Structure formats: C-alpha cells, structure tokens
A and B are shown apart, each in its own frame.
Chain A
Amino acid sequence: MNNRRAVVGRMNQMDIDITVKIGGEAGQGIQTVGHLLALVCRKAGLYIMAINDFESRIRGGHSFFQIRISDSPVHAPHHRVHILVALNRETLDLHREALDTDGLVLIDEKAESAEGSVINVPLEKLGKKAGGKIFSNTVAAGACLALLGAPFELCKAVLAEQFGKKGTDVVEKNVDAAELGYQAVKDVAFKWAFEWKPDTPKGTLIDSSRSIALGALSADCRLAAFYPMSPATGIMSNLAALSDRFPLVVEQTEDEIAAVNMIIGASFAGVRAMTSTSGGGFCLMTEGLGLAAITETPIVIVNAQRPGPATGLPTRTGQGDLQFVIRASQDEFPRFVFAPGMPDEAFEITARAFHLAEKYQVPVIILVDQYLQDSLFIIEKQLTAPEETERFIAGDDDMDNPSEYKRFAVTPSGVSPRALPCAGKALVVISSDEHREDGHISEAISDRIQMVDKRNAKVPHMIKEMNPPKEYHGDADILLVGWGSTEGAIKEAVDRLREEGMNAGALNFVDLWPFPFEAAIAALNRTKKFYMVEQNSSAQLGQLIREQTGLIHSGAILKYDGRPFYPNEIVNDVKEYVR
C-alpha cells in the first residue's frame, strides 16, 4: 500500500498501521476525540491500541491520546505519528519530531499557520458553527477520519450510538460538527488513507480498569472498598457504575488502611471482597496484608503500579513494585502474585485470584500498571462468567462436632476448614496474635512452630497452581524476558527482530509468586542468552530469576521514565547488545 510498509509492517502482513496523536491541555477534550476515532475504527472491523498520557492535574498542562490503527491485532503503541491533531501550539512543538515524513498536522489557524505538513482546520470556529465550542472536538475527529478515508456514514452511526442517550439535538450537532471536519480537509491528500472495507467489530474495546472490574464480578466479588488513587481508581469507578445491577457494595473509605481491613472483615463474614490501590496506598495496606495472612482470610488486592517512591509520578506507568509486593509486610507468609499482560488476561487473572485466595486462604495481589489501566485494546475473546463459583466454606453439617470447631486446625495441606461467624454452632475464633489451632492467643513454642509450618505447608500446593511463563518463539537463541503489561511491546519487538533475521523469542511471566522456578529453569535453559525487559531501574524480575533459579541474564533493557515501552526501543537496545 505504501513504501513504508517494510518499516512498520510485521510478520502477520499488516497492511494498515497508522498512528494518530491528539494532544492539548487537560480539559480540552483530547479523550473525546480519541475515543470517537477508536469507536469508528472498531465498528469498521479494524484493530486499535491507544495510550493515554496525562499529567497529575485536571486543567492545563500537556496531555495526549495516541491511537494506533491497524488491520491486524496491535498490542503496543507505535513511535511514529502519521496524524498529529494539535489542540494547542505546544502540542506541535512537543511532538513534531515524532511525525513521520508525509505525516500531517491538524491545527487551528489561530495557533499556527499552514505550511508544509501543517494543515489548518478552524476547529473552534467550525465547532461554534455546529452549535458551540464544545463541538470542536467532534470537528477534529471528523477531520481525522476524513484524512484516513473513513466513510462518513460510519462516523455518523457511531455518533448516534454515543450521544443517543443525550437526545437527537446533541446527535445532530455532533453529526454537523463531524461533517464540517470532513469538509475542511476534503482537498487534502493524505498518503496513508486506505480503503475502509465493510466488516464487523473484531472484539471488545477495553482497558484493564474495566476488565478487572468485570473479572471481579465474574468471581462473585460483593464488596469493593477503596481509597481513590491513580491509576487504580478506574477499577472502582467501573464497579460503582454496576453496583445497582449486582449484589455489590462499593465503599470509599477514609484511607487505604480502612479499605484493606474492611475487605478482611467482609471476607471473614463470608463474601468475596477486594480493594485496588497504587504503590503508596499499598504501603499503607501492608499491615492489613499481614493480618489477612496470619488470620488466613482470603482477600484480593490490585496494585496498579506507578513510578515512586512516595508520590512519584502519579499518572505515569512503571513496574517498580514486584520485589516489594512479593515480600511486603513483616515476617514470612504465603501469598500469590500475578501480573496480567492484557485486559482479557486481567479479567481471567482477577477471577482466578478470588478462587485461589479462597482455596488456599491467602492474600492475592494482582500487579497491573498505569499503561494497562488507561490504555485501550481490542480483545477478541468474548469474556464470560462461570455458571457458578466454587466456594470453600464449611458449615456445621460438614463437621463431626461443631462445638469443638477449630478455625486453624492443622491439616496436611495447611488449609483448615473455614467456617463463618454466626452461621451455626461452630464458633469462629480468630486472632492477629500468633495462636493455637482454636484461634486463641498463644506464645507457646510448639504453637508458634506449628502455625508457621501449617501456613508454609500451603506453598508446595500453591506452586503447582502456577502457570509457566508464556513462550513466544521459546526455542530461539535469544530470549527477551518480561512480565505483565510489557508483553505486547516485547512480542512486537521479537517479530521485528525475526524479520531482520535474528533468532529471537520472548518469555512473559504472568504467574510470579510463589515463583514457578522449575518451569522458569526449563524455559530459560533452552536459550543461549536472555535479556530482561522491564519498566524499573534494576531488573527486578531478573534479580528474582537469579535468586530462584541461579540463572543470570546477559543484559537488561530497562525503562523507568514513566512512559510505556515502544517496540522500536526494545529492538534498538537488543541490537546494541548483540552487535
């Protein structure tokens, strides 16, 4: 289709690979434009992947929404921009360099005059013409779609779906605005315009904020307690919006300490419960994490990572909490840690987290990050809820003698029958102090050893639940090893390296703790060299692999600037290493 295909194309014959970046101040409606583009592309059967880049402020500053459009699945952002929609002058200055040769800039005439690749679209004037300044975003979306060659009818249909609830007047004004945008660029030739073939949507447009919320519902989570913190709040706002339709309470607490203790109380009383937070909030929750551990109360905590320490970069992404969460809290106890790579996987992991938390009576931590929380992906798999959820709760009928019930009875698996308070004759006695089998405080040497051993007895069973790292060309000479949300960028980098003749592959860890060391050794022993690809400054998974397997990575591609990986960055760094 064009001469740049070789550069941007992938092994799966990507014919269309276009990136549109919309930038401006917070509050200017950047996301409105971006979401419209995403919805139109989805409706046309295209794949998209979009990142949200914003500052920790409500108004002003600089934000952008960057959407990659393709006819093949895309799971990472692209570094070259083909259309730059500059809602202010600053956007042009900041992103001009990322513009591809033959790329175009759409900008209001008030901000910059037209010259070369810069096209003037009087966004504000046309918006006002359509009904008000607010519609200038739809003008911008219309202009973009026109450049891309999208049929106007498609745009019109999406606007009707989007604004239908707000009434015909709002729909009509938006349609007028989009049409004015189309008209404004009708004479502009855009090199990457393509033929939009009629097709059906390839999947669901979703971020992990939403898919985790849905995953929790599919596991029958009934209490979500939280304290607002970017980038974790989206999970709770998704749940709150659904709380009228399901047996679910979403409670905003006074702090993260209250949130974690509240879900421990709810779980103790018999309903599945979760919280979500980011690193700083997780710090406050570590005391409660230990409480869940010693009282063997199942809970699920999502830690949506952002760079730290302390306040760090509130709206940016990172993977700096792995080593923290696997050991957070004083002393030792079993826990599960998972890091999904995509929103559909986050849905499944969330459901699995609730199941495993209850099966083993341990806390489960899900690690995501700002990138996964705030980026939109098309997922092709239909998300489904199970017909029933398996509960691991004992009632009087399951006991020989309920009045002799011991909450922490020693068993070979380390898991004791779990009764609920006030549910029968069995009295549930729980203490955060070290305790006897009946739950009462004990400082006896034998009780202490027995309880530590009992809790630890779960670990060999828990390791059996862990999936091996996901292989992508796992028999290659060089493996790129990552975890969680970097999967998309790493796999695309592998595709590109293989195109260029390098025998590269990837390993992506989702199930992180207890560390599946045997599977890791088997996978890593097949390769000559492996390189870590992580969003922290010390290769935390690399350290963990070394600790758990004795295997040492040959190098590490680390990004800790708070921005997501672009595949080309990984490609370039790998080439530096193997040159």
Chain B
Amino acid sequence: MVSINDYESSYANQWCPGCGNFGILAAMKDALVSLDIPPEELLIVSGIGQAAKTPHFLKCNMFHALHGRALPLATGAKLANHNLKILVNSGDGDCYGEGGNHFMHAIRRNVDLTLLVHNNRTYGLTKGQASPTSDLGMVTAMQPHGVISESFNPLAVALSLGAGFVARSFSGNTEHLSRMIREGISFKGFCLIDILQPCVSFNRVNTYDWYKKRVYDLSEENYVPDSFEKAMSISMQRGDEIPIGIIYKKEKPTFADRIGILHEGSLISQTYDPGKLNSLLAEI
C-alpha cells in the first residue's frame, strides 16, 4: 500500500504562506494515495509559474517544462508510452494564456491525462498582473484602469471543443478536490479540473472568503453531468453562485485509441526491425 510518506519530497517548498497551492498539493497526495499509485508510476508534467512548481514538492517522476508548453510535452510522452499515468499542473496564465493554443488542441486530441489548472485569476510569479481569467475591470498595478478584456471561460471552451471530463473545484475544499482528482485520474481521456484558488499575495478580490460565499457543490444539487446542454449552462455560472463538481463526463476513444499502430502496444515497447526497412530500401 502506498502511504502519504511515499510522496514526501525533501525539496524545500517555495510558495507564500497561506497559498492556495498547499490545498491543491494536499488533495493531490490524498488522491494518489487513495488510488494506491506509487510515485514511480506517476509522471507529472508542468509548465512555468507557481502552480508548475508543484511536482518539485512531491516525490515523483517529473518534467517541469516551459511556460505554456506542458501539454504538448505531455502529449509527446504519452505518444511514446501511452501506459504512462500523467498529471499536468498548470496555472491560468500558463494554460489559458501562454499555452492557450495547446490547451485547445490537447482537448481536440483527447489525450488521456489529467490537467489541473491552479486558477488564481492573477499572475503570481511575476507579481500580480492580470491573467486571462481576471474579471473585466479588475484593477492591478499593471492594469491601473482595470482589465479591459473579457474573462476567459475555460469550462465553456473545453466543453465546446469536446472535452470528455470537465470539472471545477476549490483549493479551500481539499476533500472535494481530492475527489475530483480521483475521478479525473480514473477517467479515460482528457480531463480538465479548473481549480479556483486565492492568491494571498496579489489577488485582493477573489479571496478565500469571497469564494466561500459563492461556491456550491453540484453533487449536493443532484446534478447529473451527462448533458452537454446543461453543462454549457452550468459553465456560464460565474457570478454570485459558482458551481463546483463534475460538470460533464462522457468517455470516448482517446488519442492513443485512434492511432492504429498503438493498438499493437506502446511505441516504446515495439521493436526495431531492420529487415523490414532494408526490404523497403531495396524496393525504392
């Protein structure tokens, strides 16, 4: 049995005290332990930002990559070995800003991985600029007259692109988040968990209290996540009431399922056959 100690990293944490990332890290460990996944069977890929530092703070295989580029890199790893269990830690700037194009196309591919977006609606590591999910009008040091662009809606975008697992959670509710991560890892296909998270250093608007007053758990409302239309409507609730939970869930063939050659086994497990190639070379 895997225990929480197996995931303890000796690497010193670098987050601000009180950061929402601590709740996410705790929920990840809890989910991984309860699913009995040992660290050596887990690969975490991340981009750049405070969220992307997450894998350093728990013991596992990890590739802390470039800003915005975690998803294509994870896709490549998955193509090489589609038996890999992959989590991706990203942030709202990393995933919806710098990596927006990759976000869209990873969904289209239906890569079988679980994407955790630590969505604190601000840029933490670069000190408090607006992010794609900041509300219209939000004032920051860099946007003194308020944000002049509409806020990005990751759930609606993911749904519209055909994502099979779309969920939202809140870093202040570790139990809920752990449940979402367990469901996500168990799901076969691309899985988005957008995690609402306060930034104690830079986001003075979307605080713990602000979220606590607004979030409600869909599972307590007898919501069944099987309707695309209902899911789209839920995804648009972003005001005084913010739903958390699985918004939409439907399995379909994954990226690897759709590639014929991978039915014979993962790319890495297949064998090099010089005979076949030499006969091709003699043919041409």
Contacts and interface: CB of A to CB of B under 8 A. Distances in A.
Contact of A222 (B59, B60, B73, B267): B267
Interface stretch (A251-259, A308-316, A519-527, A563-571): A251-259
B261 A427 contact: no
A259 B102 CA distance: 10
A462 interface: no
Contact of B281 (A259, A384, A440): A384
A254 B104 contact: yes
A382 B59 contact: no
A255 B71 CA distance: 13
28 contacts: A214-B277, A218-B274, A222-B80, A244-B260, A244-B261, A245-B280, A246-B276, A249-B79, A249-B259, A257-B72, A259-B72, A261-B76, A262-B79, A265-B63, A265-B74, A266-B77, A270-B268, A271-B79, A384-B281, A385-B281, A388-B272, A422-B85, A424-B40, A428-B62, A430-B63, A440-B11, A440-B56, A441-B56
A300 interface: no
A295 interface: yes
B274 A269 contact: no
B156 interface: no
A383 B284 CA distance: 10
Interface residues of A, number: 65
Given A220-B272, A266-B79, A247 B66 contact: no
In the complex, which range does the number of interface residues on chain B fall in?
A: 35 or more
B124 to A, nearest CB: 16
| Top 3 closest pairs, chain A to chain B, by CB | A265-B76, A247-B270, A262-B76
B45 A265 contact: yes
Given A266-B76, A385-B278, A422-B84, A249 B62 contact: no
B277 A217 contact: yes
Contacts of B278: 384-385
Nearest to A297: B63
A421 B55 CA distance: 14
A380 B41 CA distance: 49
Contacts of A253: 72, 105
Interface string B133-164: 00000000000000000000000000000000
B86 to A, nearest CB: 9
A387 B274 contact: yes
A225 interface: yes
A257 B281 contact: no
B221 to A, nearest CB: 37
A353 interface: no
B65 A269 contact: no
Q: Which of B65, B262, B272 has the most CB of A within 10 A?
A: B272
A385 B80 CA distance: 22
B80 A269 contact: yes
Given A270-B81, A421-B84, A441-B53, A225 B76 contact: yes
A385 B56 contact: no
A130 interface: no
A220 B81 CA distance: 15
A211 to B, nearest CB: 10
Given A253-B72, A253-B105, A264-B73, A421 B43 contact: yes
Given A244-B260, A249-B261, A295-B63, A265 B276 contact: no
Contacts of B79: 223, 249, 251, 262, 265-266, 271
Interface of A: 204, 206, 210, 214, 217-218, 220, 222-223, 225, 242-249, 251, 253-255, 257-259, 261-271, 273, 287-288, 291, 295, 382-389, 420-422, 424-433, 439-441
A427 B259 contact: no
B201 interface: no
Given A257-B69, A422-B43, A389 B284 contact: no
Interface string B246-284: 000000000000011110100110111110111011101
A204 B284 CA distance: 7
Contacts of A440: 11, 56
Contacts, number: 190
Nearest to A441: B56
Contacts of B282: 382
B80 A270 contact: yes
Contact of A271 (B80, B102, B277): B80
Contact of A248 (B43, B59, B261): B261
A268 B64 CA distance: 12
Contact of B39 (A217, A242, A427): A427
A245 B276 contact: yes
Contacts of A386: 274
B219 interface: no
A120 B105 CA distance: 54
A440 B60 CA distance: 12
A509 B56 CA distance: 44
A422 B104 CA distance: 27
Interface string B81-117: 1001100000000000000011011000000000000
A261 B69 contact: yes
Given A255-B101, A257-B72, A422-B40, A265 B281 contact: no
A261 B72 contact: yes
A420 to B, nearest CB: 8
A174 B48 CA distance: 60
Given A218-B274, A222-B268, A266-B77, 18 more contacts: A244-B261, A254-B101, A254-B102, A255-B101, A258-B72, A261-B73, A262-B75, A264-B65, A265-B74, A266-B267, A267-B80, A269-B43, A273-B76, A383-B281, A385-B278, A427-B62, A428-B61, A430-B63
Nearest to B42: A422
Contacts of B276: 245-246
B76 A269 contact: yes
Contacts of A271: 79-81, 267-268
A270 to B, nearest CB: 5
Contacts of A430: 62-64
Interface string B9-42: 0010010000000000000000000000001111
B80 A223 contact: yes
Contacts of B75: 258, 262, 265
A427 B59 contact: yes
Q: Which of A261, A291, A383 has the most CB of B within 10 A?
A: A261
Nearest to A247: B270
Nearest to B278: A385
Contacts of B14: 441
Given A244-B261, A264-B76, A441 B64 contact: yes
A441 B101 CA distance: 27
A432 B66 contact: yes
A253 B43 CA distance: 22
Contacts of B81: 269-271, 422
A287 B41 CA distance: 29
A351 to B, nearest CB: 11
Contacts of B262: 249
A441 B15 CA distance: 14
B76 A422 contact: no
Contacts of A387: 274
A292 to B, nearest CB: 11
Nearest to B69: A261
A253 to B, nearest CB: 7
